[in-house]
Copies of this chain bind each other. A is one copy, B any other.
Amino acid sequence: MGSTLIRGGTVVNADAAVRANVLLRDGVIAALGADTDDWSADHVVDAEGMLVMPGGIDAHTHLEYPVDGFTTRTADDFHSGTVAAAHGGTTTVLDFVKKEPERSLLDTYRSRRDVAAAKSVIDFGLHAIVPPREQQPDVLDDLRRLVGEGATSWKFFMAYPGTQMVDDGELLEGFELALEHGVLPMVHAENGHMIARETQRLLADGRAAEAFHATAHGHDAEAEAVHRAVVLAESVGAPLYVVHVSSAAAADEISRARAAGARVWGETCPQYLAVAYEDYADLGEKAASYLCSPPIRERGNQEGLWRSLVTGAMSTVATDHAGFCLHQPEDLPPQKLRSPGYFPKVPNGVPGIEDRLMVLWETGVASGRFDACRFVDLVSTRPAKLFGMFGRKGAVAVGADADLLVWDPAADHVISVASSHMRTDYNLYEGMRVTGRPVRVFSRGEQLVGPDGSFDAAAGRGHFLTRGKPQLH
């Protein structure tokens, strides 16, 4: 594969930004140096004025993902999704495995891993979703085996009673098992009963239109679930990762718990930071394109969520990428408008796998809320640590995989569905002008994206990541 010397840039890691040249060799970072005139390489990249950052890690994606009782699936598959990710500067994704009805969790995991490996252009890993016990009585045995196969993170649902929701007893049992095996438990934290009750009341009142989805999913339902998950995890001594925190009240629960010494980490998503309920409240059926769970909340909620990123109450920013098309394509099962005017049937999820870094840079760094080091921490270093990949991923460091970005902090770009690579036919951030984007993207030393927009990566070049134990500090 040869070697590449990236010269003249500022290397940005989570704790420091320093001027240094970076030598890539055999897919890894071989050396960093100040005065490197005596170094030679097959390729030399001029990064003067640029930042050199570790590639983005999106710890929460749903590619070709079955939803609504396996009646439909998300629009991007592992090829289109990872191509889009790479264009946006993300070089690793972590997706989920949901047990299929006729398969064990372990079998579903292996099958999905092979499907993804054949299509993916960047490295990827898989979280296991723990189903309610009644769906697979021996699932704990599968979970134990999955640790050795790289699934060192398990997700539990506190919402969706009757399908994916597990009760507090199952959470406790799962958390204990995770603790025993060095696994990081993750929770979708919304109180499913509260949502069900509120949904029922809304429907009884004839409030079924798309935007009422947000009403059904209250801030209190999210905050309560976070509080309870923390208590349960602490009671057995397990760490905890809360996915897609949307409500500032829920973020506050994490903040309080961390201040009291709890080992809990929060993830939020660009859609909760840069989009608001007010943006879709009056769109009628088209509001479907904004529906996800937890919902995109009121504008007044954003400031608290931003503060949680600044104070450290939130630790990562992922996408929860789960795109559905607004207009039904012929080759896909039912998408956003499968049942207009009836929010309970709208497939949940929004796209964003390609936009994450640009949106967060613009609204977080360019706007002065935090610096480039914190940015790198949120989108790459921390997810690498929490999900057992640090050392290989998450830092521009000697010995690490040469997954890195040459980032132009002065680029001028307008986000648009027209220029993006995701399968969905709309973009949540349509028209957002951003200053800062990746001009080169390297994965294991190979340049996937070039400054002229060139893209060079074969389907299947991505490696499945057998992840190790989380690094919880």
B473-A20 in contact (CB<8A): no
A168: chain B residues at CB < 8 Å are 191, 193-194
Copies of this subunit: 4
Pick out which of these stretches binds chain B: A74-82, A390-398, A413-421: A390-398
State which of B218, B227, B397 has its C-beta within 8 Å of the C-beta of A227. B227
A15-B15 in contact (CB<8A): yes
A14: chain B residues at CB < 8 Å are 15-16
A221 CA to B234 CA in the complex, in Å?
Answer: 11
A312-B312 in contact (CB<8A): yes
A28-B34 in contact (CB<8A): yes
Q: How far is the CB of A38 from chain B (nearest CB, A)?
A: 9
How many chain A residues sit at the interface, stated as a range, is: 35 or more
Q: Interface digits, A19-34 against B, CB 8 Å rule (1 contact, 0 not)?
A: 1100100001111111
With contacts A169-B197, A193-B172, A261-B311 taken as known, whether A33 is within 8 angstroms of B34 at the C-beta atoms is no
A20-B193 in contact (CB<8A): no
B172-A473 in contact (CB<8A): no
State which of B15, B18, B29, B259 has its C-beta within 8 Å of the C-beta of A256. B259
Q: Is A67 an interface residue (CB 8 A)?
A: no
A231-B224 in contact (CB<8A): yes
| Closest chain B residue to A167, Cβ basis | B193
B399-A34 in contact (CB<8A): yes
A231: chain B residues at CB < 8 Å are 191, 220, 223-224
Q: How far is the CB of A323 from chain B (nearest CB, A)?
A: 32
A167: chain B residues at CB < 8 Å are 167, 193
A421 CA to B234 CA in the complex, in Å?
Answer: 45
Going nearest first, the 8 A-B pairs with the smallest beta carbon separation are A31-B33, A168-B193, A15-B15, A20-B398, A169-B193, A14-B15, A224-B231, A172-B197
